[in-house]
Amino acid sequence: MNYPECITLDNYLHGEDKFVYTVGRGLNWMIQCAKDIGSGAFGVVKRARWRNRNIALKQCMKINDFTDTKKYLNAINKETKSLVSVDHKHIMKLYGTSSHSDFLYLLLEYAENGSLDDYLYGKNQNRYKMSNGINLMNQLVNGLAYLHEKKPKPIIHRDLKTNNLLLTKDYTQLKIGDFGIAKELATKNTTNKGTVIYQAPEVGSSPAIYTEKCDIYSFGIILWEVISRRKPFDHLDDPNPIACFYKTEMGDRPPLNIELITKCEPLQNLIESCWNHDPEKRPSAKSIQISKTMKNIKKLMRKM
């Protein structure tokens, strides 16, 4: 099915809490907002209905918050065209963008089971199974390989973390969310601990250096977190964002003296290679995928 590259908002019906969009050849499609399902630097995220499917409607920054509005909108349109073309079962679908009352909105695929962070630490953490955690990490690798191999140029997420990995199908399917356009729209993308603890050391350079290997570093941190079920750098006496990033730049990493890691040499080797200080020494997502490393790790862990 083909989706529009851009969806233009006509008006907002305040009394009924509905958005009216014009899509394609002047066809009106009603978006019915059910309830708030999240909030953050962006603002509110609502669960909604559009074209007979559940979606997540995410409010972004005010357009007039940018000094060069035209440049900003051109960048968003370019990013949207790139991301609407993304079609992979482990990547959250962007259906389109819209604007209303100086705000931008993203129409996104809906993930009914929340984030990986919720799964690890939230009210449903008792449902967590290590075997499923490894499966989800294998899916993350597959999604990253797709993004990094995209033509004519790779798509780099730049903000991978457990909060940006969404789950569906009773927690068994992972979808990468909040990439690309979301990074550009965030009001705070490097100052909160939730992001800094997953960032590669080279991101701290001026200007920041973003390559596919930044995502691989983040993957290594997330893989450690899924195995340990601990927040990265929780061992620090002062785990504030500046302290965490300073430690990262100095070569510090989350501790590997965790039984499941020390007993599985391929797992430890993969984690260490992914968060290597030298980006050139980190593996590509494609190489991890081709080697079937994650599946082999799962087989070894079954024997423990």
Same domain, 272 and 240: yes
Nearest CA-CA partner of 90 in 300, 297, 302, 294: 294
The helix or strand, by DSSP H or E, that contains position 22, with its residue range, turns out to be: strand 18-23
* 1: in domain: no
Q: How many CB atoms lie within 10 A of CB 1?
A: 4
Same domain, 105 and 128: no
Q: Which domain holds residue 149?
A: 116-302
Q: Which residues are annotated as a binding site?
A: 58
Q: What share of the chain is helix, strand, coil (3-state, %, to 5)?
A: 40, 20, 35
Same domain, 292 and 196: yes
Q: For residue 165, give both structure tokens.
A: 């990995």
Task: Give the separation between CA 147 and CA 192, rounded to whole angstroms.
Answer: 25
Task: Give the separation between CA 241 and CA 250, rounded to whole angstroms.
Answer: 14
Same domain, 271 and 138: yes
* 209: in domain: yes
Same domain, 203 and 182: yes
pLDDT reported for residue 208: 74
pLDDT reported for residue 153: 85
pLDDT reported for residue 300: 83
Q: Which of 87, 109, 131 is the last residue of a domain?
A: 109
Give the sign of the dihedral formed by CA 3, CA 7, CA 11, CA 12. positive
Same domain, 138 and 97: no
Same domain, 130 and 234: yes
Give the sign of the dihedral formed by CA 85, CA 90, CA 91, CA 92. positive
Same domain, 221 and 254: yes
Give the sign of the dihedral formed by CA 210, CA 106, CA 171, CA 38. positive
pLDDT reported for residue 182: 47
- Find the radius of gyration of the CA atoms of the chain: 20
Q: Which residues are annotated as a binding site for ATP?
A: 58
Strand 103-109 relative to strand 94-100, pairing: antiparallel
pLDDT reported for residue 299: 86
Contacts 24+ apart (CB under 8 A), 289-293: 289/141, 289/142, 289/145, 293/266
* Per-residue CA distances from 260 to 129, 130, 225, 237 (Å): 14, 10, 12, 24
* 2: in domain: no
Same domain, 93 and 128: no
- Which residues carry out catalysis? 159
Q: Which of 88, 109, 130 is the last residue of a domain?
A: 109
* 3: in domain: no
Burial 271-285 (b: 16+ CB within 10 A, else e): bbbbbbeebeebbbb
| 124-134 per-position pLDDT tens digit | 888 999 999 99
Low-confidence ranges of the chain (pLDDT < 70): 1-43, 61-79, 99-102, 179-194, 206, 237-239
What residues contact residue 101 under an 8 Å CB cut-off, 6+ apart? 12
The helix or strand, by DSSP H or E, that contains position 182, with its residue range, turns out to be: helix 181-185
Same domain, 149 and 289: yes
Q: How many CB atoms lie within 10 A of CB 194?
A: 17
pLDDT reported for residue 136: 97
Burial 111-136 (b: 16+ CB within 10 A, else e): bebbbbbbbbbeeeeeebeeebbbbb
Structural domains counted in the chain: 2
Read off the CATH number of the domain in which 186 is found: 1.10.510.10
Q: For residue 152, give both structure tokens.
A: 């004519």
| CB distance 226 to 256 below 8 Å | no
Q: Which of 109, 126, 145 is the last residue of a domain?
A: 109
Strand 173-176 relative to strand 8-13, pairing: unpaired
Same domain, 152 and 234: yes
Same domain, 27 and 139: no
**pTM, to two decimals:** 0.83
| 68-121 per-position pLDDT tens digit | 566 666 666 666 777 778 899 999 998 877 766 667 777 889 999 999 999 999
pLDDT reported for residue 139: 97
Nearest CA-CA partner of 131 in 282, 302, 278: 302
pLDDT reported for residue 240: 74
